[in-house]
């Protein structure tokens, strides 16, 4: 068990954006005090029961200094996932905005896309009105730490009736960040009737061994439409703690996809508040990990008002000695009649040593609702493998096809085709790369259990 | 006489210590269609499974020579690449795997093995659409996941459709007729008949004579308690239709089922 105090460096100080307003400085102090008071969660904490943060002990929360030279070249960047997609992009390297790699192209009039540090000066009213508003509710200690320490991130504002994106955001860590913490913070605001597609890719270049502690707030007005995709593929020595908080206004449609592929330990907290009636919310996620990786998704979906629909689909693929954690909590408040909430967590264990802890949870305080949840854990279907082999397909490829199909259930819910295709390519590549005994796709210890099959 | 396609010699095989095949011998030459009949539990499907390479069976004795190779030494995918095809009694549903993608992967594996050029997606689609017509199947099937949500009849027709695409040297049809109504049975039989050639062979495994009205076999064998107890021409099937299996199984010195 970790004593929380031992992890807190006594010299920890709030960061500041040059020229930031007094309310922000004050909010940071409050957040820092909150973090210091809460300390790091331990496995005694119900919400962290399955995810032990002890491995973080060696890291400092010190930020990475801004380097004058660009730490990654355009050529290196061009090899990263999602970098080949057109449209606007903002790139942050070790938490600092990289103007050389970023570009804003073809956006509609009035759409604002910039670094959050710039937005603090350029859009003070919007920032003050929305920043911290979502993520501080039910905030993890890490979201508070982010509030205290963030220096930059993305700011997107889509005015009424306008459409933005796909906007691709990149948070890249390099070996310069090793032993340190990067706290990107993004604020995405969709006014009434606005529409946006946004990706956030958390990636590493080289052997970066750092903590990324990110927060993204997505504020949606009435009748707004958002498709958001988080793609996390940091180095196998990295730690990744993320909060994605969304508030959806009346009749809005929101699709949140979360892909956990990388990191030694990753946790994504998703907080969705259905704030207006008639919201349709889809939370859709995929785990694709192996070796000693741990990937955790923690969700709270809050149905506060009637006629809300929320569907969660999370599929996990675990090889090697990896571990998955799924914690989904749906709250249906007394007023939220006619709620339609569904939660599905399916897991595929590719080795005897992979484990998964799944905890779907419904808290229903209204009486006229439709709520279901379910979780499965299984292995590849032996019958299906034999069927494919009997047609001439080699065993490794047969397994890959089945694993890919399982991932495909999640990918098929991505509406924006270029994003879906890009992800599809990355999944296929990862499955091919991991064809080694310790990785994905095959293994001497691979257990095939017909009864537990998912097919 | 040319080299046979398949020679099974005194094959003994079983599951979990229980012997099911107790000395099966059977030789199949190119251009021949054999029917293997027998009551439930006689070992028909076990023989199909062992020939296709399904895991979980122990072969305790005997050998199987397939085109000069030791068949039992080959992995299931290698058997398929050498031209062996099993039409499953219960075709497997594979959600999320597109039928065309699957068939193209299988077809190209075989092409690669034969040293022939692989087909790209566009060429394969043209090729495969011709084959679809043969089985009177809906094109729509090509867009669906393998067998997913197919009716029983569609699944069986899909097996023969795959056979048409992969053009095996030896096709083993395991109870392909079971669960089919007479119209579906005729379509399946027509499909199989169109695929019969002087250089390939079929082994039809069936419980009923009915199929053999539409696919006329050259030889009929009766399997009982893990052994072939009688072999003959087509007339043997007709006799079985009339008299049932009991007279044969009693002759073989074991109680009938």
- What was the ipTM of the complex prediction? 0.94
A325 vs A268: CA distance, rounded Å: 10
Tell me the pLDDT band of A269, cut-offs 50, 70 and 90.
very high
CB count within 10 Å of CB B21 equals 26
Search chain B and give the residue with CA nearest A406. Answer: B96
Q: Which two tokens stand for residue A366?
A: 């209204």
Give the pLDDT of residue A444: 30
Cβ-nearest to A387 among B79, B94, B166: B94
Search chain B and give the residue with CA nearest A412. Answer: B96
Distance from CA of A108 to the nearest CA of B (A): 37
Q: What mean pLDDT is predicted for residues B148-159? A: 90
At residue A419, what are phi and psi to the nearest 5 degrees?
-70, -45
Tell me the pLDDT band of B243, cut-offs 50, 70 and 90.
confident
| Residue of B97, B114, B146, B149 to mutate when probing chain A, most A C-beta within 10 A | B97
Tell me the pLDDT band of B111, cut-offs 50, 70 and 90.
very high
Tell me the pLDDT band of B252, cut-offs 50, 70 and 90.
low
Search chain B and give the residue with CA nearest A408. Answer: B96
Q: Where are the alpha helices (DSSP H) in B2-54?
A: 44-52
Give the pLDDT of residue A290: 93
Tell me the pLDDT band of A438, cut-offs 50, 70 and 90.
very low
User: What is the Cβ-side half-sphere exposure of residue A81, based on CA atoms within 13 angstroms?
Assistant: 29
Tell me the pLDDT band of A4, cut-offs 50, 70 and 90.
very low
Tell me the pLDDT band of A14, cut-offs 50, 70 and 90.
confident
Report whether pLDDT(A436) > 90.
Answer: no
Beta-carbon contacts of residue A270 (< 8 Å; ≥ 6 apart):
A243, A244, A245, A246, A256, A258, A283, A297, A298, A299, A300
A307 vs A369: CA distance, rounded Å: 9
From chain A, the residues in CB contact with B93 under 8 A are 455
Tell me the pLDDT band of A40, cut-offs 50, 70 and 90.
confident
Q: What mean pLDDT is predicted for residues B78-103? A: 94
- Greater model confidence, A187 or A14: A187
Q: What mean pLDDT is predicted for residues A292-314? A: 95
What is the number of domains present in chain A? 1
Check B76 against A406: CB less than 8 A apart.
Answer: no
Q: Does A314 touch chain B (CB under 8 A)?
A: no
- Greater model confidence, B83 or A140: B83
A385 vs B161: CA distance, rounded Å: 20
Q: Which one of B38-47, B163-172, B176-185 scores highest in mean pLDDT? A: B163-172
Report whether pLDDT(B49) > 90.
Answer: yes
From chain A, the residues in CB contact with B105 under 8 A are 393, 397, 401
Give the pLDDT of residue B164: 93
Report whether pLDDT(A27) > 50.
Answer: yes
* Cis status of the peptide bond prior to B158, with omega within 30 of 0: no
Q: Report if residue A5 sits inside a domain.
A: no
> A265-274 and A239-248: which strand pairing?
parallel
From chain A, the residues in CB contact with B97 under 8 A are 388, 401-402, 405
The residue with tokens 């508040």 is A273
Give the pLDDT of residue B40: 85
What's the burial of A308, exposed, middle or buried (CB within 10 Å: 0-12/13-18/19+)?
Answer: buried
| Residue of B84, B88, B98, B105 to mutate when probing chain A, most A C-beta within 10 A | B105
**A134, A147 in Cβ contact below 8 A?**
no
Report the Cα A127 to chain-centroid distance in Å.
22
Beta-carbon contacts of residue B15 (< 8 Å; ≥ 6 apart):
B46, B56, B57, B58
CA-nearest of B253, B247, B85, B250 to B171 is B85
Q: Report if residue A35 sits inside a domain.
A: no
Q: Report if residue A57 sits inside a domain.
A: no
Computed over every residue of chain A, the mean pLDDT equals: 88
Q: Does A397 touch chain B (CB under 8 A)?
A: yes
Give the pLDDT of residue A193: 97
Q: Report if residue A136 sits inside a domain.
A: yes
- The dihedral over CA atoms of A269, A270, A271, A277, expressed in degrees to the nearest 10, equals -170
Q: Does A329 touch chain B (CB under 8 A)?
A: no
Q: Which domain holds residue A298?
A: 70-439
> B69-70 and B58-66: which strand pairing?
antiparallel
Search chain B and give the residue with CA nearest A411. Answer: B96
The residue with tokens 């340190």 is A180
CA-nearest of A211, A201, A207, A209 to A172 is A201
> A253-260 and A225-233: which strand pairing?
parallel
From chain B, the residues in CB contact with A315 under 8 A are none
**A237, A209 in Cβ contact below 8 A?**
yes
Q: Report if residue A28 sits inside a domain.
A: no
DSSP three-state, residue A378: strand
Cβ-nearest to A390 among B86, B94, B113: B86
Q: Which two tokens stand for residue B194?
A: 């169109």
Give the pLDDT of residue A386: 97
Report whether pLDDT(A403) > 60.
Answer: yes
**A172, A93 in Cβ contact below 8 A?**
yes
Give the pLDDT of residue A213: 94
CA-nearest of A218, A287, A275, A280 to A255 is A280
pLDDT digits (tens, 9 = 90+) for A70-120: 578 899 999 999 999 989 999 999 999 999 999 998 889 999 999 999 999
Tell me the pLDDT band of B25, cut-offs 50, 70 and 90.
very high
From chain B, the residues in CB contact with A409 under 8 A are 95-96
Distance from CA of B46 to the nearest CA of A (A): 15
The proportion of chain B whose per-residue pLDDT surpasses 90, expressed as a percent, equals 68
Give the pLDDT of residue A311: 96
For residue A323, the cross-strand partners are A294, A355
Report whether pLDDT(A256) > 60.
Answer: yes
Report whether pLDDT(B181) > 70.
Answer: yes
Distances (CA, A) of B10 to A169, A328, B18, B25, B36: 67, 58, 17, 5, 16
Report whether pLDDT(B216) > 80.
Answer: yes
Report whether pLDDT(A379) > 60.
Answer: yes
Residues in chain B: 257
Cβ-nearest to B77 among A384, A394, A408: A394
Tell me the pLDDT band of A41, cut-offs 50, 70 and 90.
confident
What's the burial of A350, exposed, middle or buried (CB within 10 Å: 0-12/13-18/19+)?
Answer: buried
Give the pLDDT of residue A453: 35
Q: Domain B4-251 carries which CATH code?
A: 3.40.50.300
Report whether pLDDT(B93) > 90.
Answer: yes
Report the Cα A86 to chain-centroid distance in Å.
22
Search chain A and give the residue with CA nearest B148. Answer: A455
Q: Which of A289-293, A437-441, B156-160, B231-235 has the lowest mean pLDDT?
A: A437-441
pLDDT digits (tens, 9 = 90+) for A170-191: 999 998 888 888 999 999 999 9
Report whether pLDDT(A1) > 90.
Answer: no
pLDDT digits (tens, 9 = 90+) for B119-147: 999 999 999 988 887 777 888 888 899 99
Computed over every residue of chain B, the mean pLDDT equals: 90
Q: Whole-prediction pTM value?
A: 0.88
From chain B, the residues in CB contact with A388 under 8 A are 94, 97, 102, 106
Check B93 against A388: CB less than 8 A apart.
Answer: no
Q: Which of A338-347, B100-109, B126-135, B226-235 has the lowest mean pLDDT?
A: B126-135
Tell me the pLDDT band of A10, cut-offs 50, 70 and 90.
low
Search chain B and give the residue with CA nearest A448. Answer: B55
Tell me the pLDDT band of A219, cut-offs 50, 70 and 90.
very high
Q: Does A389 touch chain B (CB under 8 A)?
A: yes
Quick one: DSSP state of residue A379? Answer: B
The proportion of chain A whose per-residue pLDDT surpasses 90, expressed as a percent, equals 72
**A57, A211 in Cβ contact below 8 A?**
no
Check B102 against A395: CB less than 8 A apart.
Answer: no
Q: Does A384 touch chain B (CB under 8 A)?
A: yes
Check A384 against B113: CB less than 8 A apart.
Answer: no
> A96-97 and A89-93: which strand pairing?
antiparallel
**A128, A23 in Cβ contact below 8 A?**
yes
CA-nearest of A42, A51, A5 to A264 is A51
DSSP three-state, residue A81: coil
DSSP three-state, residue A327: strand
Give the pLDDT of residue A127: 95
| Residue of A317, A392, A449 to mutate when probing chain B, most B C-beta within 10 A | A392
B41: left (phi over 0), alpha (psi -120 to 50) or beta: left
At residue B38, what are phi and psi to the nearest 5 degrees?
160, 160
Tell me the pLDDT band of A432, cut-offs 50, 70 and 90.
confident
Q: What mean pLDDT is predicted for residues A346-374? A: 93
Beta-carbon contacts of residue A418 (< 8 Å; ≥ 6 apart):
A85, A86, A166
Tell me the pLDDT band of A200, cut-offs 50, 70 and 90.
very high
Element holding A433 (H helix, E strand): helix A417-433
Tell me the pLDDT band of A435, cut-offs 50, 70 and 90.
low
Q: Which two tokens stand for residue B189?
A: 């039989």
Cβ-nearest to A390 among B52, B96, B97: B52
The DSSP annotation for A162-187 comes to -EEEEEEEEEEE-GGGTTSEE--EEE
Report whether pLDDT(B256) > 80.
Answer: no
A271 vs A327: CA distance, rounded Å: 12
Check B80 against A389: CB less than 8 A apart.
Answer: yes
Give the pLDDT of residue A440: 45
Tell me the pLDDT band of B153, cut-offs 50, 70 and 90.
confident
Q: Report if residue A235 sits inside a domain.
A: yes
Q: Where are the alpha helices (DSSP H) in chain B?
A: 44-52, 76-81, 99-114, 121-134, 152-166, 182-195, 234-243, 246-251
């Amino acid at each position: 068990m970790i004593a929380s105090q031992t992890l807190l460096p006594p010299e920890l100080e709030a960061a500041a954006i040059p020229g930031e307003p007094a309310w922000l400085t004050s909010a940071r102090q409050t957040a820092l005090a909150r973090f210091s008071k809460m300390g790091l969660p331990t496995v005694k904490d119900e919400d962290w029961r399955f995810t032990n943060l002890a491995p973080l002990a060696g890291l400092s929360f010190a930020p990475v200094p801004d380097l004058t030279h660009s730490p990654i070249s355009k050529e290196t960047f061009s090899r990263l996932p999602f970098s080949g997609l057109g449209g606007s992009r903002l790139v942050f390297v070790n938490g600092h905005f990289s103007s050389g790699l970023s570009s804003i192209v073809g956006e509609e009039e009035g759409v604002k896309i910039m670094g959050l540090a710039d937005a603090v000066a350029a859009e003070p009213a919007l920032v003050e009105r929305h920043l911290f508003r979502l993520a501080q509710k039910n905030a993890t200690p890490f979201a508070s730490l982010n509030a205290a320490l963030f220096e930059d991130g993305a700011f997107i504002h889509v005015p009424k009736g306008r459409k933005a994106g796909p906007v691709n955001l990149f948070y890249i860590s390099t070996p310069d960040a090793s032993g340190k913490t990067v706290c990107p913070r993004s604020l995405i605001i969709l006014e009434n009737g606005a529409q946006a597609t946004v990706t956030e890719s958390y990636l590493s270049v080289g052997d970066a061994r750092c903590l990324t502690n990110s927060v993204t707030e997505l504020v949606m007005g009435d009748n707004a439409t958002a498709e958001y995709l988080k793609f996390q593929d940091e180095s196998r020595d990295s730690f990744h703690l993320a909060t994605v908080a969304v508030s959806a206004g009346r009749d809005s449609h929101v699709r949140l996809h979360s892909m956990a592929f990388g990191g030694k330990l990753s946790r994504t907290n998703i907080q969705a508040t259905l704030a207006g009636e008639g919201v349709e919310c889809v939370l859709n996620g995929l785990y694709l990990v192996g070796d000693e990786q741990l990937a955790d998704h923690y969700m709270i979906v809050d149905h506060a008002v009637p006629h809300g629909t929320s569907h969660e689909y999370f599929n996990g693929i675990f090889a090697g000695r990896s571990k998955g954690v799924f914690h989904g909590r749906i709250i249906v408040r007394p007023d939220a009649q006619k709620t339609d909430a569904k939660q599905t967590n399916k897991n595929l264990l590719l080795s005897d040593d992979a484990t998964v802890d799944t905890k779907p949870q419904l808290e229903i305080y209204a009486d006229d609702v439709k709520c279901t949840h379910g979780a499965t854990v299984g292995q590849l279907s032996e019958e299906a493998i034999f069927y494919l082999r009997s047609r001439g397909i080699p065993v490794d490829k047969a397994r890959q096809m089945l694993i890919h199909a399982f991932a495909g259930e999640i990918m098929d819910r991505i509406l924006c085709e270029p994003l879906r295709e890009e992800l599809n390519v990355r999944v296929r590549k990862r499955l091919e790369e991991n064809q080694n005994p310790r990785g994905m796709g095959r293994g001497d210890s691979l257990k095939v259990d017909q009864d537990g099959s998912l097919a | 006489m040319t080299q046979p396609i398949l020679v099974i010699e005194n094959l003994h095989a079983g599951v979990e210590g229980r012997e099911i095949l107790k000395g099966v011998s059977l030789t199949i030459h190119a251009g021949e269609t054999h029917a293997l009949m027998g009551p439930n539990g006689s070992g028909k499907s076990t023989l199909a499974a062992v020939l296709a390479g399904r895991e979980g069976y122990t072969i305790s004795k005997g050998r199987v020579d397939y085109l000069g190779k030791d068949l039992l030494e080959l992995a299931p995918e290698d058997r398929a690449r050498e031209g062996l095809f099993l039409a499953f009694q219960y075709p497997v549903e594979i959600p999320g795997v597109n039928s065309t993608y699957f068939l193209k992967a299988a077809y190209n594996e075989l092409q690669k093995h034969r040293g022939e050029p692989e087909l790209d997606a566009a060429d394969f689609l043209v090729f495969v659409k011709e084959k679809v017509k043969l089985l009177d199947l809906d094109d729509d099937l090509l867009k669906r996941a393998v067998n997913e949500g197919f009716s029983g009849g569609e699944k069986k027709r899909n097996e023969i459709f795959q056979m048409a695409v992969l053009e095996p040297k030896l096709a083993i049809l395991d109870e392909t007729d079971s669960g089919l109504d007479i119209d579906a049975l005729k379509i399946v039989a027509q499909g199989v008949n169109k695929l019969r050639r002087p250089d390939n062979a079929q082994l039809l495994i069936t419980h009923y004579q009915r199929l053999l009205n539409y696919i006329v076999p050259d030889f009929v064998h009766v399997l009982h308690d893990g052994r072939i107890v009688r072999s003959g021409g087509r007339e043997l099937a007709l006799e079985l239709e009339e008299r049932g299996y009991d007279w044969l199984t009693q002759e073989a010195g074991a109680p009938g089922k």
